[in-house]
Amino acid sequence: MIGALWQVASRQWRTHRLRVAMTTLGIALGVAVFFAIRTANAALLDSLTLTVERLAGKSTLEVSAGEAGFPEEALDTVRATPGVQLAEPVIETIVHTAFQDEGNLLILGVDTTGDQQLRQYEFDKSQTEIADPLTYLAEPNSILLSRAFAERHGLKIGDHFPIFTSHGKKEFAVEGIFKPTGVGEVFGGNIAVMDIYSAQVVFNRGHNFDRIDLTNSPSVSVNELQQRLKARLPAGIEVARPEMKGQELENAVTAMRLGMTITSFIALLVGVYIIFNSFTIAVNQRWKEIGVLRAVGVERGNINAMFLGEAQLMGVIGSGAGIVLGYFVAAAANRAMGSIAASVYGIVTIAVAPRLHPDLVLTAFALGMAASLGGAWMPARAASYLNPILALHNIESRQKESALGWGRVALGATVLLISMLLIQFSPFGVGMEFQFSYAALQLLGLTMLLPLMVHWSARAIRPVMDRVGGSEGALAVDAMIQSPRRSAATVGALMVGLMFVYSTAAYIQSYKNMINRWTDQMLNADLMVSTSSLLRSTSYHFSEDLGKRIATLPEVKHVQDVRFTIVPYHGDTAAICAIEMDTFLVRSENAILNGNKKTAEALLPSGAGVLVSKNFAARWRLKAGNQVHLDTPTGPLDLPIVGMVEDYRSDKGTIFMERKVYKRYWNDDAVDFLDIMLKPGQNAIAVKHEIEQMTAGSEHALVYTNVEFRTWIGSLVDKFFMLSYMQLVVAVIVAVVGIANTLIISVAERRREFGIIRAIGGYQRQIRKMVLLEAFSISVVGVLVGAVAALFNIQFLSRTVSTVLAGYDVPFIFPWLLVLETFPAVVAVSLLAGWIPARHAMKAPVIEAIGYE
Amino acid sequence: MIQLTNVTKSYGTGGTVLALNNLTLQIGTAERVAVMGPSGSGKSTLLNLVCGLDEPTSGSVKVEGVELSGLTDDARTRLRREKIGMIFQTFNLLTTLTALENVALPLRLQGLSKKEAEGRARSMLARVGLADRAAHRPDELSGGERQRVAIARALIFRPPLLLGDEPTGNLDSATGEEILRLLDDLQQEYQSTLLMVTHNAQAAEFCNRIVTLHDGKIVEDVACGRGPARDKA
């Protein structure tokens, strides 16, 4: 039976090669995008893991305390702990070199002798050890370089080159060059090693270490040693396995990876629409054939199996082709993701080329197959339930499509309502993956309601199309109204793409408005000085001396030192903004929300209370009056929350505290930003130039006027959303392919209809006009339903992504203007996509078309 | 009305299949001609050439004195729309449109407003006895009703030439006779020329002339008494 059915099906494939090819292409594209993104994701994770492994060396545990580090006395405690075989302190910092067009340089401050037992430093063949060990240890400006960096700048042993340190620009002497293996692979080869005590001095670490890397003795398990160390060290100092650092890095790029994953699923979803459409048409085309098969004794199950078998075969071919295509695209996606990870998150890793992960190949293949079967499921079922008596009659016997069945509409509305309730009332704790499934549920509900939305929209535009497009316009819209399922499948691809475009644009615009509101309230200094062109540097800081020097300028009224750092908080992390609170309260008197201003003025300057950002309060369910407990490197710190502020520098939330308190508890007087207030009537640009001259050749200081700072923040936001823009491009490309595909299929399906129109006196140009007007109608309806779907998706972005996941209160604005602006583009793309099918339709031979069933 | 002179139509590379072989046929105004013959004799090809859907390999096809081979596709289409009404065995109605919309379609293609087109279509549906079925789609109509809708559509322009391709081929004999009576009435009312391809002797009897084809040639061309006799009656 199967063999006979396959013979029937294969003839259909030969007859409808274009439909089969376009359908298979739809699957291939969906799978390709999915596989490329997942493979690039995996390559990024591989590179994160490899970087961590290379940096960690043989360490089995790491001791750390956030970015500020911890007192060096902890090393004695660690080394004295039974079960510790080897413990080596580390200072890790990323510095700017004075070389033109050179990226940053990662410097590891280590005790080179001891550290070589932990990490792999392979020196050049010509050199078995450090050139002059005594000079290396005695001179704080001695440094060992990776061969990659040295060769790039023509440096050899004995040469000098400049680096910006916390004490200004300093010349460093090359005392050794190591091979690009082991540690030398990290950071694209831009790595250097120096003595840890020299690093403490030149990078203003005082008597702190950033980390202690250690190994356990064979007699003690890693877990046991971890517990012992935790018991001996202050609560603010963490002991963790090195791979946890990899996990932290992964967490940092979670948003990016999640965004890309969503894009990949959207591509697959459009693939499902394409399959659904193609098979609905196939069933219509093969109406009589199905009737004949049923009449000669083929059971329902076998008819169903025939269509699903075809879907499977298309799935196999499409998925296979998609995986091959995706593998090549993955290299480009990997470069893009690596670039974003470096520029937005400041994570630079060892480049790892994408490789074929068997589990990803299987997953992509399985999803391609699932998409094919899922898309073909309903049409196959419809085919198997076809009434053979009706099917054997003429083509006019076909019953009206029942896609507008109220049962389906009620189910769709219910699913949509459930998704909205889940989005609105779901707590943070249920897990990110679970929360993202709400969006899938929302899309499922919208898809079920799509035929109804298409029907209503088409009816709404029919009078206009009738008036503007004449009979062809009305016929084009009628074709949509009368075939809601086919039209829904066509519009579905466009709806998903446009929904994504509109809601993402709304998110970006609303986010930017929110940032503007924040910069108005909080970032109101006349001039600002930053250590980095990124939002902040995690390792390069100013000393307090710079602020004092700037304060001596006659135009300057006041300089405020700001430390912005990340600390461990209740098993997660939080940002700390250490600032002089008395000046902060004067400058940002309206910034405090949900708190008593008088209490704040009384407690904050003395360090007896803290402000927290709204997202911190939302994340930890805190309010004014609650206590914040912090485990600092020098002991516990408990302070009451006296108010909240808006701040968007950290998605984990920010604690604002008096700088003196921070310095005391964290033993850290580094400075990340300088807020400079000028005396009345002073020219900010002139003072900016003065500060630039003052810091030239010493600090790597970026000086901004208030306007420039806001622009800079805007550019950072744009960088952050670079990924979203890429997602938009993917969504639009897939939607365009979807439109072209479905229009070609639609024309194939309506071949007989066009033949009849030609036979009763329709001109060729009328047929072309009809197809193009249908493409136009699809674009109009697509924009309408895309906008409606975006309204729902915005609820998800607003509630789940912003409020629940990030704790940001984003006031959403629907991008009506964008909807209007994109309309001509969507119409143009649709007409372009419809052009070839339209020409195909008008040239089709009438006699064959009429005889075609 | 129709004049075919030395018409040959061949298909396939090198003209391997000869559908019409040097055929000459003349049909006058208001004549009712049945074309009969076995499958593959060239009946449908003849019809396709007369309505301008196909072109002869050689020879001349004239409708109302106009040489079709000299016309552009647009001109042939206009001729088909305004001068020729076509009725098919398989009805060829648009399944997505109602009976009313199907009948109004040629008028709408001509550029008439929906209101005007549907007004005229409604009258024509009433004329074929389907006033109460106007809002029904083809799948909600019986075979006979569908063919009535197709006839209404074919006659909406009151064309001088009516072409039928086995118009009763898909109908039972009672319904077929009903359709033939309707065609008979309408042909007399509009004084159209009727050229009908059929296998059905009963249908051929409704005509006043029967042309029999075999292998692309006319093998018999005889007058038939019943049609004109009925006319006279």
- Residue A10 to residue A21: CA distance in whole angstroms: 13
SS3 A194: strand
Residue A853 has pLDDT above 80, yes or no: no
Joined tokens for residue A763? 């001109």
In chain A, % of residues over pLDDT 70: 81
CA A330 to chain centroid: 16
Cα A819 versus chain centre, distance: 24
User: What's the confidence (pLDDT) of residue A20?
Assistant: 81
Pairing state between β A168-178 and A142-146: parallel
Q: Which residues of B touch A474 (CB under 8 A)?
A: 108, 114
Which position has the higher pLDDT, A398 or A499? Answer: A499
Indicate the pLDDT class of residue B232, thresholds 50, 70 and 90.
very low
Cα distance between residue A35 and residue A30, in whole Å: 9
- Residue A56: per-residue pLDDT: 67
Query: CA–CA distance from A46 to each of A52, A244, A465 (Å)?
Result: 10, 14, 55
CA distance A237 to A230: 8
Summarize the confidence of residues A529-534 as an average pLDDT: 78
Residues A572 and A683 in one domain: yes
Amino acid letter, A706: N
What residues form DSSP beta bridges with B33?
B195, B209
Look at A57 and B158; give whichever has higher pLDDT. B158
Contact at CB, B80 and A396, closer than 8 angstroms: no
Q: Check residues A349 and A514 and name the one with the higher pLDDT.
A: A514
Region A370-388: mean pLDDT is 82
Residue A804 DSSP class:
I
Domain ranges of chain B: 2-94+140-232
To test the contact with chain B by mutation, choose from A486, A760, A763, A843 the residue with the greatest count of B C-beta atoms within 10 A, namely A760
DSSP state of A534: S
- Considering only residues A431 and B210, tell me which one the structure prediction assigns the higher pLDDT: B210
Average confidence (pLDDT) over A727-748: 71
Token pair belonging to A778: 């699809």
And the tokens for A398? 């076909």
The last residue of a domain, from among A241, A271, A295? A241
Instruction: Check pLDDT > 90 for residue A780.
Output: no
> Inter-chain contact A466–B114, Cβ cutoff 8 Å?
yes
Quote the pLDDT of residue A251.
63
**Record: contact A396-B96, CB cut-off 8 A:** no
For residue B205, the model assigns a pLDDT of 84
Task: Say which DSSP state A120 is in.
Answer: -
User: Could you tell me the pLDDT band of residue A675, with boundaries at 50, 70 and 90?
Assistant: very high
Spell out the residues 6+ positions from residue A362 whose beta carbon is closer than 8 angstroms to its own.
Answer: none
**Pair A350, A394 in one domain:** yes
How far is B198 from B44, CA to CA, in rounded Å? 10
Residue B153 is nearest to which of A394, A400, A760, comparing CB atoms? Answer: A760
Asked which of A722-731, B43-52, B143-152, B204-213 is least confident by mean pLDDT, the reply is A722-731
The pTM of this model reads 0.68
Between the alpha carbon of residue A258 and those of residues A108, A520, A595, B16, the distances in Å are 32, 31, 35, 64
- Average pLDDT rounded to a whole number, residues A820-848: 84
Sign, CA dihedral B141-B142-B148-B153, equals: positive
pLDDT in tens, A787-797: 998 988 888 87
The DSSP letter of residue A679 is: P
Kindly report, residue by residue over A32-43, the tens digit of the pLDDT: 888 888 888 888
CB contact under 8 A, A763 and B139: no
CB spacing of B80 vs A475 below 8 angstroms = no
The 10 Å CB-count burial string (b at 16+, else e) for A564-584 is bbbbbbeeebbbbbbbbbebb
Same domain, A667 and A581: yes
For an interface test with B, give the residue of A287, A396, A402, A464 to mutate (most B CBs within 10 A).
A396
- A477 and A606 co-located in one domain: no
Q: Which residues of B touch A753 (CB under 8 A)?
A: 94-96
CATH of domain B2-94+140-232: 3.40.50.300
Q: In terms of domains, do A556 and A632 share one?
A: yes
pLDDT digits (tens, 9 = 90+) for A259-295: 667 667 767 776 777 777 777 767 766 777 777 777 6
Pick left, alpha or beta for residue A596 (phi over 0 → left; psi -120 to 50 → alpha; otherwise beta). Answer: beta
What is the torsion angle, in degrees rounded to the nearest 10, for the CA atoms of residue B117, residue B118, residue B124 and residue B130? Answer: 160
Name the β-bridge partners of A93: A107
Interface of B with A (CB under 8 A): 48, 51, 53-54, 73-74, 77-78, 80-82, 86, 88, 90-97, 101, 105-106, 108-112, 114, 117, 137-139, 141, 143, 146, 153-154, 170
What domain range includes position A148? 58-241
Residue B225, classified by CB atoms within 10 Å of its CB into exposed (0-12), middle (13-18) or buried (19+), is exposed
Q: Verify that A616 and A746 share a domain, yes or no.
A: no
In terms of domains, do A390 and A469 share one?
A: no
Residue A251 lies in a domain: no
Question: Do residue A658 and residue A612 come from a single domain?
Answer: yes
Please check the confidence at residue A655 and state whether its pLDDT lies above 80.
yes
Tell me which residue has tokens 């062109």: A533
Whole-number Å distance between alpha carbons of A288 and B117: 33
What does DSSP say about strands B32-36 and A191-195: parallel, antiparallel, or unpaired? unpaired
Say what percent of chain B tops pLDDT 90: 28
Cα A611 to its chain centre, rounded Å, is 30
| The pLDDT of residue B228 | 43
Q: What residues of A are in contact with residue B92 (Cβ under 8 Å)?
A: 752, 756, 759, 850
The interaxial angle of helices A764-796 and A406-425, nearest 10 deg, is 30
Query: pLDDT confidence of A599, banded at 50, 70, 90?
Result: confident
CA nearest B142 in A: which residue? A397
Q: Which of A516-530, A709-723, B71-85, B119-133 has the highest mean pLDDT?
A: B119-133
Question: A704 near A528, Cβ under 8 Å?
Answer: yes
Query: What does the pLDDT read at residue B231?
Result: 40
pLDDT band at A734, cuts 50/70/90? low
Mean pLDDT of B4-17: 82
Question: For residues A741 and A251, what is the distance between their CA atoms, to the nearest angstrom?
Answer: 38
- From chain A, the residues in CB contact with B141 under 8 A are 396
pLDDT band at A428 (very low <50, low <70, confident <90, very high): low
Closest-CA distance of chain A to residue B233, Å: 34
Answer yes or no: is pLDDT of A127 > 60: no
Question: What pLDDT is attached to residue B5?
Answer: 94
Which residues on A lie below 8 Å from B164 (Cβ)?
none
CB contact under 8 A, B96 and A478: yes
Using an 8 Å CB-CB cutoff, list chain A residues near B9: none
Chain B residues whose beta carbon lies within 8 Å of the beta carbon of residue A484: none
User: Could you say which DSSP state residue A542 is in?
Assistant: B
A638 and A751 part of one domain: no
Query: What are the φ and ψ backbone dihedral angles of A710, each rounded to 5 degrees?
Result: -65, -40
Quick one: A696 exposed, middle or buried, by C-beta within 10 A (0-12, 13-18, 19+)? exposed
Residues of B in contact with A395 (CB under 8 A): 90, 95
- Closest residue to B80, CB basis, from A470, A752, A761: A761
Could you report how far apart the first and last alpha carbons of chain B are, in Å?
25
CB-count exposure of residue A588 (10 Å: 0-12, 13-18, 19+): middle
Taking CB atoms and an 8 Å limit, are A483 and B96 in contact across chains? yes
Q: Which two tokens stand for residue A764?
A: 């060729």
Whether pLDDT at B233 is above 50: no
Residues A192, A197, A198: CA angle, nearest 5 degrees: 55
Question: Higher pLDDT residue, A19 or A27?
Answer: A27
How many other β-carbons are positioned within 10 Å of the β-carbon of residue B175? 17
Q: How many residues does chain A have?
A: 853
Place of tokens 């075979």: B143
Domain count, chain A: 4
pLDDT at residue A436 in the model: 72
Give the pLDDT mean for A206-215. Answer: 87
What's the burial of A664, exposed, middle or buried (CB within 10 Å: 0-12/13-18/19+)? middle
Pairing of strands A61-64, A142-146: unpaired
Cβ neighbours around B16 below 10 Å, total: 8
Query: Which of A281, A393, A394, A485 would you mutate first to test chain B, the one with the most B CBs within 10 A?
Result: A394
Q: What is the mean pLDDT of residues B213-223?
A: 91
Q: Would you call B90 and A475 a contact, using CB atoms and an 8 Å cutoff?
A: no
Q: How confident is the model at residue A851 (pLDDT cuts 50, 70, 90)?
A: low
What is the average pLDDT value for chain A, to the nearest integer? 80
pLDDT at A395: 53
Query: Would you list which residues of chain A are within 8 Å, Cβ to Cβ, of chain B?
Result: 394-400, 466, 470-471, 474-475, 478-479, 482-483, 752-753, 756-766, 846-847, 850, 853
Q: Note whether A669 and A601 are same-domain residues.
A: yes
Closest in A398, A471, A765 to B111, CB measured: A471
**Average pLDDT, integer, range A656-669:** 92
CB contact under 8 A, B108 and A475: yes
Report helix angle B73-83 to B99-110, nearest 10: 130
At A1 the pLDDT is: 59
Query: Which residue from A394, A470, A761 is facing B106, i.e. has the nearest CB?
Result: A761
Is the pLDDT score of B52 beyond 70? yes
pLDDT band for position B62 (50/70/90)?
very high
Tokens of A97: 């070199």
Phi-psi region of A130 (alpha: psi -120 to 50; beta: other; left: phi over 0): beta
How confident is the model at residue B4, as a pLDDT? Answer: 93
Between A96-100, A202-206, A494-498, A665-669, the lowest mean confidence (pLDDT) is in A96-100
Q: How far apart are CA A553 and CA A135, in angstroms?
A: 40
Question: How many helices (H) and strands (E) are present in chain A, helices listed first?
Answer: 29, 20
pLDDT score of B185: 86
Q: Percent of chain A at pLDDT above 90?
A: 13
Q: pLDDT tens digits for A322-346?
A: 999 988 888 877 777 776 666 555 5
* ipTM, interface predicted TM-score of the complex: 0.82
Report the pLDDT averaged over residues A193-207: 84
